[in-house]
Amino acid sequence: MAIDHVPQAGVNANAPQVAPLDASKLKITLSETLKAIPAPESLVFGGTMSDHMMIVTYHPETGWSDPEIKPYGPLTLDPTSSCFQYSTNLFEGMKAYVGSDGEPRLFRPNMNMARLERTRDRIALPTFDTNELIKLIKKLVVIESRWIPNVPGHSLYVRPTMIGTRPSLGVAASDHATLYVICCPTGPYFRTGARPLSLMAVGEHIRAWPGGTGGYKLAGNYAPTFLPQKLAAKAGYDQVLWLLEDRVTEAGAMNFFAVVKREDGDLDILTSPLDGTILPGVTRDSMLTLIAAHGSKNSLRNIPTSLKLYPHERTFTIGELVQWSEEGRLLEAFTVGTAVVVAGVGRIGSEGRDDIVLPKHEGSMGPIARALHEKITAIQEGREQWEDWSVPCS
Amino acid sequence: MAIDHVPQAGVNANAPQVAPLDASKLKITLSETLKAIPAPESLVFGGTMSDHMMIVTYHPETGWSDPEIKPYGPLTLDPTSSCFQYSTNLFEGMKAYVGSDGEPRLFRPNMNMARLERTRDRIALPTFDTNELIKLIKKLVVIESRWIPNVPGHSLYVRPTMIGTRPSLGVAASDHATLYVICCPTGPYFRTGARPLSLMAVGEHIRAWPGGTGGYKLAGNYAPTFLPQKLAAKAGYDQVLWLLEDRVTEAGAMNFFAVVKREDGDLDILTSPLDGTILPGVTRDSMLTLIAAHGSKNSLRNIPTSLKLYPHERTFTIGELVQWSEEGRLLEAFTVGTAVVVAGVGRIGSEGRDDIVLPKHEGSMGPIARALHEKITAIQEGREQWEDWSVPCS
């Protein structure tokens, strides 16, 4: 194998003569037969796709095609395409909620678009204006709004995907691309009921490293996680807790938080810093904001305002978790992400040590995780306002 | 995002009731119109595919389908497929040569199959017997033998590819897969003529890390290399020399060798060890064997047998390369890989330092690289025998 040294024209340059992505050129073709929508309680994440998809393609000589919303259907691609050979693929995870006013809302879509742009740049795919993509996503969500379950904790999961489609085996950036958006109705991600998640700390397989791609939403970050995930499941744990040396980084494909009691009785709430090994999660960022606002701007329900919560983006180790647990100070651990929102952690295993067992709580979450979950869900569903986080689609 | 905790049935388990990959069930459908074959001197690597492809699919309930050799054509896949969303993709690079006897030969195909198996396992794709795949590849090469240019330095590049095709967004191992093999005629990979390659040492972006996937032929290892490659090209270098901290690891998508004169006048020939950050290249392994055999079993042409060559798989740094160069001991550097075979290096840039300039030679290679290139090419083309390296297809 060798990288083709011929410079690629057109990638990330978008010479003036090629067409930009333009949502005003959208063509809509509605499906003649609509699917039956499954009952909310029967939904399996990502298993049932909605009726339509948005799709648009980039060619280095002509630029972006006219975007289309059309019936959901397969992609047809040359076997040499970069997406298969060199995994020039990225995605985003977003959710659309419907409130009591019937209006579909997206949650902080600008954050997803900014991350998509950084990831696209990192793998040298053709550029576009993400504001145009937001317009297209809103159109698609409005068309698919009958798919949004009007049940608390349910939503329409929206998956923007971008794949390189350069039809050549030469090892070089993809100067062809397809950008598409697909949707599926979703309920609770983990169907574990009232049981919290168990995590197995893994240091042998490393998810991400400084100078690597762990801070980007690259498709290629996920394939290597499936073997460790299977090994964790075999050992009786739900998910992997990823270590980098002894540092705790993420859990499964989610960000990880620990709630630690301070000597003054207040709470430190820790998550790993964005040093390039951590996905900058939209839910992670929202949690840090909601934690910081407690007691002042807008407090968490059922948490005394006299209890101070200190959010920290800082490095911490599995050894520290063990120590805090032994000292009785590790009150809660939880994971967050767009798909899962918030999930409580009940147990953390690591090699050569007894499992860390977290305090038990009614349901699957401790009071902090539960309060954060309630708060963010209220904002997402439009029952509470918080800055410009909840964005109407119409 | 969150990993689906539901255990995946059938992946890497191949329950007895599902069909194994079976080359004896091959169905062949030949193309009714054959393509015109480009002149060898006009070939661009990976740009023109041959008439046919081999394809076979895995379904968790039924196992492997009957393999097919059929006219080359597109793949049709659901937009949720794992190959797009989670980059559950791998490939191999092999070459078929035709000798003066007209017989097509593969070069050390067992090594590619062993690496494919390790990579497949690392990303938890469904398993199969790689001996069956070799049989299918040989069949395809024989059918496509008119595509092998009968010109020295030319061959048929063979690209086995395996992609996960599970049609669901749940973050879990792919229990569906497509395995396919495509071919293209190929000549010299770098059309730089008599000019050696220039490399730019890059430490900011890290290709691979201990505990990561650099030792596997994962498609996902390649997408993150395209941005650094573009930055290197912009700075006037052909390829990237990948560093891990100050350690030299690989160059572009090739293994890297340095030839260093010892105090006793003999030569140390160094390449990085297989510590998990280095792709275990078939050409790399072959070079180490040919170097070790010089002076005893089978010597390199135009290199005195009295000159001892010491192959070393050991860590070395960019600082050591600079020092050896300043001492006049860095005689050659070269890169190796299946596509490139061998390419000489003329210059290595690294930040804050003057470029390392390698001694100039007639053509693009020093005497050691040239002798190794001649030897391996003779073996690949069947003009020389070396153990069981060259494997007839009929």
Cβ-Cβ contacts under 8 Å between A and B: the total is 288
Which of these three, B158, B186, B214, is where a domain ends? B186
Chain A closest-CA separation from residue B178 CA (Å): 11
Residue that is written with structure tokens 């390659």 in the block: B197
Check whether residue A264 and residue A137 sit in a common domain: no
Average pLDDT estimate for A285-298? 93
Whether A394 is covered by a domain: the verdict is no
**Same domain, yes or no: A302 and A215:** yes
- For residues A45 and A165, membership in a common domain is answered with yes
Residue A136 is inside which H or E element, if any? helix A130-143
The C-alpha atoms of residue B253 and residue A19 are separated, in whole angstroms, by: 33
| Phi, psi dihedrals of residue A141, rounded to the nearest 5° | -65, -40
Q: Which residues of B touch A340 (CB under 8 A)?
A: 1-2
Q: Is the pLDDT higher at B202 or at A40? A: B202
Q: Minimum mean pLDDT among A120-134, A213-227, A292-306: which range?
A: A292-306
For the residues A116-133, what does the mean pLDDT come to? Answer: 98
Residues B22-39: pLDDT tens digits? 999 999 999 999 999 999
The whole-angstrom separation of Cα B354 and Cα A170 is 31
Least confident piece of the model among A365-374, A378-387, B294-303: B294-303
For residue B266, the tally of other CB atoms under 10 A from its CB is 13
Query: Which residues of chain A have a CB within 8 Å of the CB of B335?
Result: 2
Mean pLDDT, rounded, for A332-350 = 96
Per-residue pLDDT at A299: 87
Nearest by CB to residue A84, choosing from B89, B124, B226, is B89
What mean pLDDT, rounded, does chain A reach? 93
Angle at B142 between CA B141 and CA B147, to 5 degrees: 65
What is the pLDDT at residue B1?
A: 34
| Inside any domain, residue B172 | yes
Contact A46 B4 (CB under 8 A): yes
Gap from B88 CA to chain A (nearest CA, Å): 5
pLDDT tens digits, A226-263: 999 999 999 999 999 999 999 999 999 999 999 999 99
Burial of residue B151 (number of CB atoms within 10 Å: 0-12, 13-18, 19+): middle
CA distance A330 to A316: 13
pLDDT at B14: 47
Closest by Cβ to A2, choosing from B5, B219, B340? B340
Residue A16: per-residue pLDDT = 58
Q: Maximum Cα–Cα distance for chain A, whole Å?
A: 65
Residue B83 sits in a domain of what CATH number?
3.30.470.10
Transcribe B281-302 into DSSP letters. -HHHHHHHHHHHHTTTTSPPTT
Q: Which of A104-118, A119-133, A283-297, B185-199 bottoms out in mean pLDDT, i.e. has the lowest? A: B185-199
Note the pLDDT of residue B192. Answer: 67
Nearest of A95, A120, A114, A113 to residue A105 by alpha carbon = A95
What is the distance of C-alpha B74 from the center of its chain?
Answer: 24
Same domain, yes or no: B231 and B169 = no
CB contact under 8 A, B124 and A226: yes
B88 has a pLDDT exceeding 90: yes
What CA–CA distance (Å, rounded) separates B237 from B216? 26
Cα separation, B274 vs B315, in Å, equals 10
Amino acid A5: pLDDT: 38
Q: How far is A349 from chain B (nearest CA, A)?
A: 16
| Largest Cα–Cα separation, chain B | 65
pLDDT score for B363: 86
List B186's β-bridge partners, or say none.
Answer: B155
The last residue of one of the domains, among A186, A210, A225, is A186
Of A135, A158, A186, the domain-final residue: A186
**pLDDT, mean over chain B:** 93
In chain B, what are the helix, strand and coil shares in percent, each to the nearest 5?
Answer: 25, 30, 50
Residue B314 lies in a domain: yes
CB contact under 8 A, B171 and A224: no
Task: Determine the Cα–Cα distance for residues A196 and A358; give it in Å rounded to an integer.
Answer: 10
State the CB neighbour count (10 A cutoff) for residue B138: 21
Residues B45 and B174 in one domain: yes
Average pLDDT over residues B384-394: 94
- Answer whether residue A11 is part of any domain: no
Of A45, A76, A229, the CB nearest to B74: A76
* Length of chain A in terms of residues written: 394
Is the pLDDT confidence value at A46 over 80?
Answer: yes
Cβ–Cβ gap B3/A171 under 8 Å = no
Type of residue found at B137: I
Report the share of chain B in percent with pLDDT over 90.
Answer: 86
* Predicted pLDDT of residue A298: 80
* pLDDT above 50 for B171: yes
Mean pLDDT over B382-389 rounds to 93
B131-140 pLDDT, tens digit each: 999 999 999 9
A299-311 tens-digit pLDDT: 899 999 999 999 9
Do B109 and B66 share a structural domain? yes
- Asked if B58 and B179 touch (Cβ cutoff 8 Å), the reply is yes
More confident residue, A45 or B126: B126
Q: Which residues contact A79 (CB under 8 A, 6 or more apart)?
A: B49, B53, B72, B74, B75, B161, B180, B182
Alpha-carbon distance values, A204 to A112, A160, A242, B2, B206 (Å)? 31, 32, 9, 21, 19
Find which of A5-19, A32-46, B166-180 is predicted with most confidence, using mean pLDDT. Answer: B166-180
- For residue B159, give the nearest of A169, A189, A220 by CB distance: A169
pLDDT at B199: 98
A91 and A29 within one domain? yes
For chain A, how many structural domains are there in total?
2
Residue B319, SS3 per DSSP: helix
Over residues A23-47, the mean pLDDT reads: 93
Please give the structure tokens belonging to residue B257.
Answer: 């060798």
Neighboring chain B residues of A173 at a CB cutoff of 8 Å = 226-227, 229-230
Q: Do residues A290 and A319 both lie within one domain? A: yes
Same domain, B156 and B269: no
Residue A222 has pLDDT above 80, yes or no: yes
What pLDDT was estimated at residue A137? 98
Which of B336, B332, B335 has the alpha carbon at shortest distance from B368?
B332
Rounded CA-CA distance B125/B89 in Å is 9
CA A359/CA A334 separation, integer angstroms: 12
pLDDT single digits (tens) A144-183: 999 999 888 899 999 999 999 999 999 999 999 999 999 9
Q: Tell me which residue has tokens 């510590």.
A: B275
Closest CA to A253 of A192, A197, A336: A336
Q: What is the pLDDT of residue A192?
A: 66
d(CA A104, CA A138): 9
Within-domain flag for A284 = yes
Our separate counts of H helices and E strands in chain A read: 7, 20
Residues B317 and B202 in one domain: yes
Q: Are B120 and B129 in contact, with CB atoms under 8 Å apart?
A: no
Nearest chain A residue to B205, by CA: A211
Q: What single letter denotes the amino acid at residue A103? A: E
The gap from C-alpha B116 to its chain's centroid, in whole angstroms, comes to: 11
Span B375-391, average pLDDT? 94
**A249 and A379 both lie in a single domain:** yes
Residue in A with minimal Cα distance to B251: A2
- Any idea what the Cα angle at residue A195 is, between residues A191 and A198, rounded to 5°? 95
Q: Is the residue at A17 inside a domain?
A: no
| Dist. CA A253–CA A185, nearest whole Å | 20
- Asked whether residue B355 carries a pLDDT value surpassing 70, the answer given is yes
What residue numbers bound the domain in which A81 lies?
A: 23-186
| Per-residue pLDDT at A3 | 37
Specify the pLDDT at position B47. 85
**Band of pLDDT at residue B101, cut at 50, 70 and 90:** confident
Dist CA B237 CA A5 (whole Å) = 9
What per-residue confidence (pLDDT) applies to B190? 74
Over range B125-136, report the average pLDDT: 98
Q: Report the gap between the CA of A306 and the closest CA in chain B (Å).
A: 33
Residue A283, domain member (yes or no)? yes
pLDDT for B16 equals 58
Structure tokens at B254: 């090739």
* Whether residue A220 sits in one domain with residue A133: no
**Average pLDDT, integer, range B65-93:** 98
Going by pLDDT thresholds of 50, 70 and 90, the confidence category of residue B296 is confident
Residue B82: φ, ψ to 5°: -50, -35
Distance from CA of B119 to the nearest CA of A (A): 10
Cβ-defined contact of A49 to B80 (cutoff 8 Å)? yes
Q: Please indicate, yes or no, if residue A207 is contained in any of the structural domains.
A: yes
Nearest to B90 by CA among B68, B113, B73: B113
- The residue among B7 and B67 whose pLDDT is bigger is B67
More confident of the two residues B239 and A190: B239
